[in-house]
């Protein structure tokens, strides 16, 4: 059974710091991996999708990597800003639907 | 504007009542999904539909029902058989189901509270 783990559960950093969020999964047979952002009480916003045949994807200050063989993905956020404060979720595609981790709650202080 | 809408934003249910949550998308997506989110837990799949007039149970379908009569609509009914329905419900859609390019997009959610 696929399990997705995100460490740490919470992270606090000062503005301007570069940071890495981690995601691990137990079954490497995935179609893709998605990173989402969720603000309190809101829906999910898709940040990046990495196909199983890809190693990384970039969007602005965000860079996500995927290592299927080790069952790991990282989300790198460069030059963090207070507006980056949110919960970040990773999810792997198993067949039709997604399997989610519990998320990392990020707080960036000014 | 293309996107996914959910209504209502907040919903209160009395014990023993059935309630229906609405989900509409104008993205022309074939596949739609319902997830449930509880505090401190990841999202869990309730039901999904890959095409009109077809749907499949997810991991926690007991106490829920769905229909898919139109491509753009996928309503979720929370029945009185659902013992702990208080949660945040999220609807999602994707252009197709499965495959490397299956990127899912989410609606704003409905928060259901049982009184």
Identify whether the C-beta of residue A17 lies closer than 8 Å to the C-beta of residue A80. Answer: yes
Q: Could A31 and B103 be called an inter-chain contact, meaning their C-beta atoms sit closer than 8 Å?
A: no
Task: State the CB neighbour count (10 A cutoff) for residue B102.
Answer: 21
pLDDT of A32 higher than 80: yes
Q: Using CA atoms, how far apart are residues A91 and A81, in angstroms rounded to an integer?
A: 24
pLDDT of A15 higher than 70: yes
C-alpha torsion B107→B54→A102→B4, nearest 10: -10
pLDDT of residue B45: 95
pLDDT of B49 higher than 80: yes
Which candidate from B44, B101, B109 shows the least CB-CB separation from A43? B109
Give the pLDDT band of residue A3 (cuts 50, 70, 90): very high
pLDDT of B83 higher than 90: no
Token pair for residue B86?
């208080």
The shortest C-alpha distance from B10 to chain A (Å) reads 11
Residue B109: its chain A contacts at CB < 8 A? 41-43
pLDDT of B108 higher than 90: yes
Report the pLDDT averaged over residues B87-103.
88
B contact test, residue of A97, A98, A100, A102 with most B CBs within 10 A: A97
Taking Cα atoms as reference points, which of A14, A53, A57 lies closest to residue A35?
A: A57
φ/ψ of residue B35, rounded to 5: -120, 155
Residue B44: its chain A contacts at CB < 8 A? 100
pLDDT in tens, A72-102: 999 999 999 999 999 999 999 977 789 999 9
Which candidate from A4, A95, A96 shows the least CB-CB separation from B42? A4
Residue A51: its chain B contacts at CB < 8 A? 100-101
Q: Does B100 touch chain A (CB under 8 A)?
A: yes
pLDDT of residue B1: 59
Q: Does A103 touch chain B (CB under 8 A)?
A: yes
């Amino acid at each position: 059974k696929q399990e997705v783990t995100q460490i740490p559960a919470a992270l606090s950093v000062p503005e301007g710091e570069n940071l890495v969020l981690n995601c691990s999964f137990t079954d490497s047979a995935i179609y893709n991996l998605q990173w989402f952002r969720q603000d309190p009480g809101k829906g999910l916003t898709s940040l990046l999708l990495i196909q199983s045949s890809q190693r990384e994807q970039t969007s602005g200050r965000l860079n996500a990597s995927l290592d299927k063989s080790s069952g790991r993905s990282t989300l790198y956020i460069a030059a963090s800003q207070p507006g980056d404060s949110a919960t970040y979720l990773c999810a792997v595609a198993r067949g039709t639907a997604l399997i989610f981790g519990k998320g990392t709650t990020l707080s960036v202080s000014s | 504007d293309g996107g996914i809408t959910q209504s209502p934003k907040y919903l209160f249910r009395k014990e023993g009542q059935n309630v229906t949550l609405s989900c509409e998308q104008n993205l022309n997506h074939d596949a739609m999904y319902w997830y449930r989110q509880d505090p401190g837990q990841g999202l869990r799949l309730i039901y999904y539909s890959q095409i009109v007039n077809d749907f499949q149970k997810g991991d926690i379908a007991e106490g829920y029902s769905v229909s898919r009569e139109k491509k753009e609509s996928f309503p979720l009914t929370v029945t009185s058989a659902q013992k702990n329905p208080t949660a945040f419900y999220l609807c999602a859609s994707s252009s197709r189901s499965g495959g490397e390019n299956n990127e899912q997009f989410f609606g704003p959610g409905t928060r259901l509270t049982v009184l």
